[in-house]
Amino acid sequence: MNSAARFASFFAVLVTLLPMAGFCQELKAQETGLYRDMFDQGIYYESTGLLHLDRLYRTLFRKEARSRDVNAFDEVPDNSFFINRHGRKSLTSDDLERGYTETPMDLSGPVSVVKGKSEGLHPGFFVRDTAGNNYLIKFDSFDYFELATAAEIISSRFYHAIGYNVPQYDVVTIGADQLQVGENASIIDDTGFKKPLNSEKLEEFLLFVPRDTDGNFRVSASKLLKGENKGFFNLTSRRKSDPEDAIDHEHRRDVRALQVFASWLNNNDTREGNTLDMLVEEDGRRYLKHYLIDFNSTLGSAAKGAKPPMFGYEYFFDGGETLKTFFTLGLLEKPWQRRWRESGEKITTSPALGYFDNSGFRPDKYKVQLPHFAFKNLTKADGFWAAKIIKSFSDGDIRAILGTGKLSSSEDVDYLAKTLVERRDIIAKYWFEEANPLDDFTYSGDKLSFADLSVKEGFASAENTRYVFDVIGKQGNKGSRLATVENGAPALQIQQDWFSQAQTLDILVRTLRGGKSLPPVLVEVNADQILGILHQD
């Protein structure tokens, strides 16, 4: 056999066996970290992306890939990644504040340090409370008291209300003498080696974390999750060994939409290392539950302090931005550079807020620190879906959640509320203009009605809006156009004689606004009910 034939045989075996390998695996714990994430997303996937023929095809022909986890009504049914919460029905202030809570940390007695936290960039400990429950506690950076802890709790509440699974997070105050070294406690110190933790070492460590005015420690405490830890979940592909994980994650709307939610909460650290799969048993069912974790790099916070000015604007390795600057000889001022210059190259807000404002913010330009195909695949329909969830948070809802951050200054709370409300509206306006923002379809048999969210939210006026309905009668697989109706109101009167010619109707609704025709929404109805809704890209 010559070498070419040998190579061809090897390649054929490889191509056959590799895809099968996934199905043969058990649910093994997958490991990742910042370095692997940076290599995978920043280098490997970026350089090999177009070797995936479907991506190549979509890139060459500018085709969108519709999300595959949506139902017939263009919504994401509840699943192990996402449960419709606030977007489905407004949660009460109490629910929003409570978030996901099992049992509050028991601080009636000592809190034992079990070991030091060795992953990530924020200092912390694994501790056991008086009731014997285990938590991960993390401190603020010395010069940024309240920043990371508030960001973590606030964002965890938002993600939970949006619909994602998150651990229990709370801001907790621990007395200076309450933290004690537990039996066989250990720590990875600044040598990188594991050392036994004793009282002296603990005191030494605590010298470098800030305290409140009473000398107590303010921490973010997350309760360790129940179940078997199976590591991170991939943001691109599915876990083939999980029979319930049927759709590649880059084609899941609930994964793609993380990009939009990240733009709202300034979570530029949205990456695989900040996800977690737990094998849990609930209601007699054993399944893999997918969590988002680690939110202390959200809002104005980043590891070790305020967000650096380029965060949210560029990937860690950003070839496009780098080439742009290279070819313009550094003369082109980037938006983040302009924003930083305009603020005098310093942070003008309180240390508890870090660096977070809406100056130069553009929802379509927001970047998390590593590129992910899931986020690049985001379609207008996906963006609209995420934006309407974001818009479902009222000003009061936002304030209710901000209260959980326990910021000591009401001015800081006001600033955050103002920034998040503004950003919510910027995001909603953008996506409501990109997609056709028609929602809340109702059908009574003789009338199809809906809400135009742009008009409803005050982004557009009803007077300047027209709706064009193309009615197509369907009989089996055959269809014929029955009528075209233009209307100034968000409703269509159904003429019963249409059903004499067809079993079902496909109604394409276009919205004409500002001289622009928005992508159509397809609504399928029969004489009794709505059968399907589809927002086009």
Partner 1 sequence: MPKKTLFILLSLTLSAQAAYAQGTEYDRYGRVYRDGAAPSSDRNAATDFLTYPLQILRWPINKTMVFVEKNHVDTRIEWAYDSLINRGITPHLGLVNPVKGHYGLEVDWVRLANQRNRFPDWKANSWIYGSKDIYFQVGSELGWQDVTGSGLGASGMVQYEKRPEVHFNGIGPNSSAGDGTSYKMETTTLGPKISYDPRPTVSGDVFFNYKNVNITNGEDGGRGIIDEIFAGQNIPGLAGDELLSLGTEWVHDTRNHRELSTRGGERRLAFSYNEGIAGSDARYFKYETELSQYLRLASERRVLAFHFHGEHNDEINNGTVPFHQMAQLGGFSGRPRNSQTLRSYDYNRFYDESSVLFNVEYRYAIWENREFRVDSVLFWDEGQVFGEFSEFKLNNFRESYGLGFRLSVANVVLLSLEGAHGDEGTKVYVKSRTPF
Copy the structure tokens of residue 148: 């990371």
Nearest approach in angstroms of CB 194 to partner 1 is: 9
Q: Which of 53, 108, 283, 458 binds partner 1 (CB under 8 A)?
A: 53
Query: Does position 208 bind partner 1 by CB under 8 A?
Result: no
**What is d(CA 463, CA 513) in angstroms, rounded to the nearest whole number?**
10
- Compute φ and ψ for 107, nearest 5 degrees: -110, 25
Residues 248-267 that bind partner 1 (CB under 8 A): 248, 251
Query: Does position 31 bind partner 1 by CB under 8 A?
Result: yes
- Residues 6 or more apart in contact with residue 443 via CB below 8 angstroms: 449, 525, 529, 530
Query: Does position 107 bind partner 1 by CB under 8 A?
Result: no
- CB of 418 or CB of 474, closer to partner 1: 474
- CB of 1 or CB of 331, closer to partner 1: 331
Only one of the segments 185-193, 204-212, 282-290, 412-420 lies at the binding site for partner 1 (rule: CB under 8 A); that segment is 185-193
**Contact status, residue 473 vs residue 501, Cβ threshold 8 Å:** yes
- CB of 114 or CB of 310, closer to partner 1: 310
Query: Does position 88 bind partner 1 by CB under 8 A?
Result: yes
**Neighbour-count burial for 364-376, b at 16+ CB within 10 Å, e otherwise:** eebbbbbbbbbbe
Query: Does position 443 bind partner 1 by CB under 8 A?
Result: yes
Residues 500-519 that bind partner 1 (CB under 8 A): 504, 506, 508, 510
Copy the structure tokens of residue 368: 């998390």
Nearest approach in angstroms of CB 428 to partner 1 is: 20
Query: Does position 59 bind partner 1 by CB under 8 A?
Result: no
Only one of the segments 141-149, 257-265, 354-362, 529-537 lies at the binding site for partner 1 (rule: CB under 8 A); that segment is 529-537
Q: Tell me the β-bridge partners of 127.
A: 113, 135
- Residues 6 or more apart in contact with residue 143 via CB below 8 angstroms: 210, 305, 351
Query: Does position 18 bind partner 1 by CB under 8 A?
Result: yes
Site residue total, partner 1 (CB under 8 A):
80
- Compute φ and ψ for 218, nearest 5 degrees: -105, 125
| DSSP H helices in 105-221 | 147-162, 199-206
- CB of 14 or CB of 489, closer to partner 1: 14
CA angle in degrees (0–180, nearest 5) for 506-508-514:
170
Query: Does position 11 bind partner 1 by CB under 8 A?
Result: yes
Can you list the positions of beta strands (E) in 304-426?
305-306
- CB of 400 or CB of 534, closer to partner 1: 534
Query: Does position 54 bind partner 1 by CB under 8 A?
Result: yes
Only one of the segments 244-252, 254-262, 400-408, 413-421 lies at the binding site for partner 1 (rule: CB under 8 A); that segment is 244-252
Burial class (CB in 10 A: 0-12, 13-18, 19+), 183: exposed
Query: Does position 23 bind partner 1 by CB under 8 A?
Result: no
Residue 409: count other Cβ atoms within 10 Å of its Cβ.
12
Q: Which of 9, 25, 71, 92 binds partner 1 (CB under 8 A)?
A: 71
Q: Tell me the β-bridge partners of 532.
A: 524
Residues 133-162 that bind partner 1 (CB under 8 A): none
Q: Which of 59, 63, 101, 119 binds partner 1 (CB under 8 A)?
A: 119
Query: Does position 531 bind partner 1 by CB under 8 A?
Result: yes
Copy the structure tokens of residue 531: 């059968």
Query: Does position 103 bind partner 1 by CB under 8 A?
Result: no
Residues 188-207 that bind partner 1 (CB under 8 A): 188, 190-193
Give the residue from 255, 272, 238 showing the smallest Cα distance to 81: 255
Query: Does position 176 bind partner 1 by CB under 8 A?
Result: no
Q: Which of 150, 354, 534, 535 binds partner 1 (CB under 8 A)?
A: 534
Instruction: Supply the DSSP symbol for 30.
Output: B
Task: Taking the CA atoms of 262, 268, 274 and 275 in sequence, report the sign of the dihedral they define.
Answer: positive
Q: Tell me the β-bridge partners of 301.
A: 306
**Contact status, residue 42 vs residue 371, Cβ threshold 8 Å:** yes
Residues 283-342 that bind partner 1 (CB under 8 A): 308, 310, 314, 316-318, 321-322, 325-326, 329-331, 337, 341
- CB of 131 or CB of 246, closer to partner 1: 246
Nearest approach in angstroms of CB 349 to partner 1 is: 20
Residues 448-487 that bind partner 1 (CB under 8 A): 470, 472, 474, 477, 479, 481, 484
Query: Does position 60 bind partner 1 by CB under 8 A?
Result: no
- The helix-helix angle for 410-434 and 395-402 (nearest 10°) equals 140
Task: Taking the CA atoms of 353, 356, 358 and 363 in sequence, report the sign of the dihedral they define.
Answer: negative
Query: Does position 367 bind partner 1 by CB under 8 A?
Result: no
Instruction: Supply the DSSP symbol for 249.
Output: G
Q: Tell me the β-bridge partners of 170.
A: 221
Nearest approach in angstroms of CB 193 to partner 1 is: 7
**Contact status, residue 290 vs residue 235, Cβ threshold 8 Å:** no
